[in-house]
C-alpha cells in the first residue's frame, strides 16, 4: 500500500480511503466486519463516516471494528444534515456541532475524531460561527483536524482566511465530488487545494455506480443507487453521462481493466488528490475496486480516459487559453 501525506498535517493515509456509508445499510454487521478486515489486510488505514449514515449505525459498527487498535487508523466523521425532527438537529451552528460531535464520539466509542467535516456549506449560519465551533472542538481535544465537504473554492478560501485572521486551526482537507462525469472540481477546487496544501479526499469516484461497467446508453441493472435513489438519478441522470459510461466501459474492457478499478485509479491519479473514497456492499464489490491499487496510471492513460468525457471550461471561460490561439502563449 502506498501512503500519502494528508495535506500539511504530517500524518500519512493510505492512497484509498474506505467509506462506511454501506455499514448498517446494504452491508449488515457481519459483512461490514469482513469488508473492514479485508481493507486492513491490504493496508487501508483511512475510514470515512458521517453521523447520518444508516441513522448513526455506520459509526456504531465502525466503532466496534476499530476497538483495540484505534490509534492505528484515521477516522473521519461529518455533521450538517438533519439527524432528527428537532429544528436545531441540523446545520453548522456551534451548538449543533457540539452536540453532533458528542453523539458521534459515543457511537464511535472513541474520545477523538481525526478529521471532522462540515458536510455542506451552511447558508444561514455565519461561517465565522461555524469555524469558531470547530476551533472549540479542537481545543477540547474532541477533533484533531477540521475539514469541509461540498464547499465551493471561494467558500474554502474564505474559511482559510477567517481561521488565519483569528489564529484558529486551519482546514486540513476537503472532500469534493469528483469522477469522470463530474469534473467541476478540476476548474477551481483542485488547483486551490494544491496551492493551499490541503488534503483532498474525493467521494463518488464511480459516479454512484455509473462507471462500474453496469450502465450504458441502453442498459442498467435492476437494482442500484441510480435505479432506486431519486437523488442519484437526478445527479447522474443526463443522457450524455450514460454515453460516457458506455465509452468508458468499452475502453476499460478493451485495455484489460475492470471499469470500477480504472475509474478509481483515474481519480487517484490527479496530482491534487490524496485518497479517493471507495465503498462496497460486499466483499466481491470490494475486491473489484481494490484492483485500482494494481493499475499504473500513466499521464497518457489518464489523458485517454479524460478524453472520454467533456473537459469543463476554465474558471474565466477563456477556452482559447488551452490552445495555440491563446494570448498568454504569445
Catalytic residues: 53
Q: Which residues pair with 76 in a beta bridge?
A: 48, 115
Q: Cell 448498517 appears where?
A: 24
Which grid cell sits at 310? 467533456
Sign, Cα dihedral of 229, 235, 237, 241: negative
Asked if residues 117 and 149 have their Cβ atoms less than 8 Å apart, the reply is yes
DSSP 3-state percent helix, strand, coil across the chain (nearest 5)? 45, 15, 40
Residue 96, helix vs strand vs coil: helix
Instruction: Select from 104, 122, 117 the least CA-distant residue to 146.
Output: 117
N-to-C CA span, the chain: 44
d(CA 247, CA 146): 39
Residues in the chain: 330
Q: Which helix (H) or strand (E) holds 46?
A: strand 46-48
Q: Cell 465502525 appears where?
A: 62
d(CA 144, CA 6): 13
d(CA 186, CA 152): 12
Q: How many CB atoms lie within 10 A of CB 329?
A: 9
> At a CB cut-off of 8 Å and minimum separation 6, what does 216 contact?
242, 245, 246, 249
Phi then psi dihedrals of residue 74, to 5 deg: -105, 120
Amino acid at each position: 500500500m502506498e501512503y500519502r501525506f494528508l495535506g500539511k498535517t504530517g500524518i500519512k493515509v493510505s492512497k484509498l480511503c474506505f467509506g462506511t456509508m454501506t455499514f448498517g445499510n446494504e452491508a449488515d454487521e457481519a459483512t461490514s466486519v469482513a469488508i473492514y478486515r479485508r481493507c486492513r489486510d491490504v493496508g487501508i488505514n483511512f475510514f470515512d463516516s458521517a453521523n447520518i449514515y444508516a441513522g448513526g449505525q455506520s459509526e456504531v459498527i465502525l466503532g466496534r471494528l476499530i476497538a483495540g487498535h484505534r490509534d492505528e487508523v484515521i477516522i473521519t466523521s461529518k455533521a450538517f444534515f438533519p439527524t432528527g425532527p428537532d429544528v436545531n438537529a441540523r446545520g453548522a451552528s456551534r451548538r449543533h456541532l457540539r452536540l453532533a460531535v458528542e453523539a458521534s464520539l459515543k457511537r464511535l466509542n472513541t474520545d477523538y475524531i481525526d478529521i471532522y467535516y462540515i458536510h455542506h456549506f451552511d447558508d444561514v449560519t455565519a461561517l465565522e460561527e461555524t469555524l469558531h465551533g470547530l476551533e472549540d472542538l479542537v481545543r477540547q481535544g474532541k477533533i484533531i483536524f477540521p475539514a469541509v465537504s461540498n464547499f465551493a473554492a471561494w467558500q474554502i478560501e474564505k474559511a482559510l482566511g477567517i481561521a488565519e485572521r483569528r489564529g484558529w486551526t486551519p482546514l486540513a482537507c476537503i472532500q469534493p465530488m469528483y469522477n469522470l462525469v463530474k469534473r467541476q472540481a478540476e476548474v477551481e477546487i483542485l488547483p486551490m487545494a494544491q496551492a493551499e496544501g490541503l488534503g483532498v479526499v474525493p467521494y463518488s469516484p464511480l459516479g454512484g455506480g455509473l462507471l462500474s461497467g453496469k450502465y450504458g446508453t441502453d442498459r442498467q441493472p435492476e437494482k442500484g443507487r441510480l435505479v432506486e435513489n431519486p437523488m442519484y438519478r437526478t445527479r447522474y441522470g443526463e443522457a450524455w453521462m450514460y454515453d460516457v459510461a458506455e465509452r468508458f466501459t468499452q475502453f476499460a474492457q478493451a485495455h484489460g481493466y475492470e471499469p470500477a478499478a480504472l475509474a478509481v485509479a483515474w481519480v487517484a491519479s490527479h496530482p491534487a488528490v490524496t485518497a479517493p473514497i471507495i465503498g462496497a456492499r460486499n466483499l466481491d464489490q470490494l475486491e473489484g475496486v481494490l484492483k485500482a491499487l494494481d493499475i499504473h496510471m500513466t499521464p497518457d492513460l489518464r489523458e485517454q480516459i479524460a478524453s472520454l468525457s467533456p473537459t469543463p471550461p476554465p474558471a474565466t471561460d477563456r477556452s482559447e487559453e488551452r490552445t495555440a490561439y491563446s494570448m498568454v502563449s504569445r
